[in-house]
Amino acid sequence: MLYGQNSGYGMGLINMVSSIIPTFGRIFVVFDPDDTTSENYQRMQELMKPDPQGKTRFFTSLESAYAAVESNNNDVILLDGHSAHEIDAMITVSKSRVHFVGMDGGGRLCQQGARIKMGVTGVATDLAPVLVTGTRNTFRNLKVENASSTDESLYGFIENGEGTYIENCHFLKTAGLDDAGWANFWMAGDSLTMKNCTLGQSNVGSAVAHYGILIDAKTGGGSSAVKENMLENIYINMSVLTAAAATACFIKVADGAAMNFNNVIKDLNAYNFVQASTGTIMTDAVLGAACTGGYLQLIRPTFMGCTGVGSATGQGIYISQSTAPDANGGLGTELTDS
């Protein structure tokens, strides 16, 4: 019974998963079909046998594992951290309370072993590898890469759900970087909690308008406006080429209706790598619009590789940068270059 779920190694695995995701849901495992000779593949195939009702627990594609989970059951999908999990189309996570966990040891800010990768699909509706529209879903220890050059496939990850939790993930777009308006992360939802994540990479530059984070409302999800989102210890990694100096930025607030209420990013670490001869210093770190319904609150941000921090006042974007103890605390002020 070494590989049974009630004793030995099997019980240890179940207890480990429960300590990471304390839920009552079932556990599903995903391995890449190219890894059949690995010891982990064979062991998990033996351990995660169909349950007494015939429900499959071991899968060789993320799409089939997601199809098997039940909405609102707090089911857990474990993704092996060896080979990339290739997907043929965007996965829309419309189910609620589903938890995706990469099994690579955890704690990484980038280059997570458990990778979800979408290549060229040629389909205009495949906007990103993952679009979240459900409620209280979880993503941990995952690298999600959009390697599609399809013109409409502009985003590394789209968060348009309610109460989503994201930790130790790396979201990025690596192809189609000549299509204006692309972003590594589109934040569109309600009450996101996001910690210790990296957005983008700096080894390939882009000469068009592009963003680390795009803040913009999106229909068909958890909210009609971006609201009550709380982010902490976020890294934005970019390389802006000369033609995009004034239009690229770390954070882009799309328009005046994009935000409602408070949206907070604490300890933002944003870097623009200026490549020799082709790179440039960005004009502004954050570009916004005259927001009337909500604020973006930046607490202790760091911006590297830009001339200014913000283009204008009246955009609902505020900064608090306290560098020393102060009896009055870190007072916020509008983000502007003037």
| Residue 31 and residue 140 in one domain | no
Which of 26, 59, 76 finishes a domain? 76
The DSSP symbol for 316 reads S
| Residue 154 and residue 281 in one domain | yes
Which of 60, 76, 92 finishes a domain? 76
Say if strands 259-272 and 294-299 run parallel, antiparallel, or are unpaired: parallel
Of 158, 96, 173, 87, the C-alpha closest to 123 is: 87
| Residue 240 and residue 257 in one domain | yes
Which of 24, 50, 76 finishes a domain? 76
Say if strands 317-320 and 333-334 run parallel, antiparallel, or are unpaired: antiparallel
Could you read off the pLDDT of 81-139 as tens digits, one per residue?
A: 888 999 999 999 999 999 999 988 888 998 998 999 999 999 999 999 999 999 999 99
| Residue 96 and residue 72 in one domain | no
pLDDT, residue 1, reads 43
Q: What is the tally of structural domains in the chain?
A: 2
| Residue 58 and residue 189 in one domain | no
Q: What is the mean pLDDT of residues 32-57?
A: 69
Could you read off the pLDDT of 283-338 as tens digits, one per residue?
A: 999 999 888 889 999 999 999 989 888 877 888 888 887 555 444 444 456 667 65
| Residue 108 and residue 7 in one domain | no
| Residue 71 and residue 88 in one domain | no
Could you read off the pLDDT of 143-183 as tens digits, one per residue?
A: 999 999 999 999 999 999 999 999 999 999 999 999 999 99
- The SS3 call for residue 10 is helix
The DSSP symbol for 243 reads G
pLDDT, residue 230, reads 97
The answer to whether 91 and 129 have CB atoms below 8 angstroms apart is: yes
Domain range for 50? 1-76
Query: Which token pair is 214?
Result: 């795009």
pTM of structure: 0.89
